[in-house]
Amino acid sequence: MDLLALLPTLADEANEIIWIFGAYLDEMHDYPELDEIMKPDRKKVVVAAGSGLEVLFDNDFAAAVFVGDLDGNMSPETKEILRENIGDSNYSVILPENKDETDTFAAAKHIIGVLQNDLSPLVIYGGVGGDFGHTFANIQMLKYIAEQKYFGVLRGGATILAAIPPKGKYHSIRFAPPVGSYFSIFAMTNTAKVTVRGSEYDGDNITLSSNFPKGARNKTKLKQVNITVTSGIVLLSYTDPRDVDF
């Protein structure tokens, strides 16, 4: 599954995408888009959240920013590199091991603070999988990102999750899975209104509520689905069936 092809909204060359690599990052060869993402001439900022830095190092990728604690999941060699290279607080943020937020959430919050309304999209790898508590925390993080009017995407294994804000640059997105694929949309706020085009269940200003999964298991009919949120925050969920045994 190629994320840049699946979410054409991200592929706009005018965008500088923020790529955040978290603790539950799978083998990097599972993500075919990374060769394109990591090209030196591509506009990007690579952020390591916690032990996501280890996976980047193992694959000879560099991080421009590190945010996280130096807990037991990190090798002594990596800890030493971090201690030796802590400089400008915009580039290295060492957190206490006992804290109220995950490394990934802290990284997203820090980057949004540094960007100061630049509105670059944030794509988080390694945020789905492992402990479900961490996965759910990252879904809550997507809501926080959307509340700041940014566009946040979680990528893990065969799954992508994206929170679509109601206003700003990313309130309307283009989504291009294979025709006949299933996807779901859910309200992350009490209610949300969304317009869907290109699916089996199209509609204008559809009302979703957080206590009823009305948007579960829709199906694509065209090569591209357009999703526009006019109020509330909507979670888009897609799992590539080619990568999973259901």
Return d(Cα 106, Cα 110) in angstroms, integer.
6
**155: containing domain:** 1-159
* 145-167 tens-digit pLDDT: 999 989 999 988 788 999 999 98
Residues 136 and 39 in one domain: yes
| Residue 163 buriedness (CB in 10 A; 0-12 / 13-18 / 19+) | buried
Q: What's 199's domain CATH number? A: 2.60.120.320
Residues 25 and 145 in one domain: yes
Q: Give the domain-ending residue among 137, 159, 181.
A: 159
Residues 29 and 145 in one domain: yes
DSSP secondary structure letter of residue 187: E
Q: What's 65's domain CATH number? A: 3.40.50.10240
* 47-88 tens-digit pLDDT: 888 878 887 877 777 788 888 877 766 777 777 776 666 554
pTM (whole model) above 0.75 = yes
The count of domains in the chain is: 2
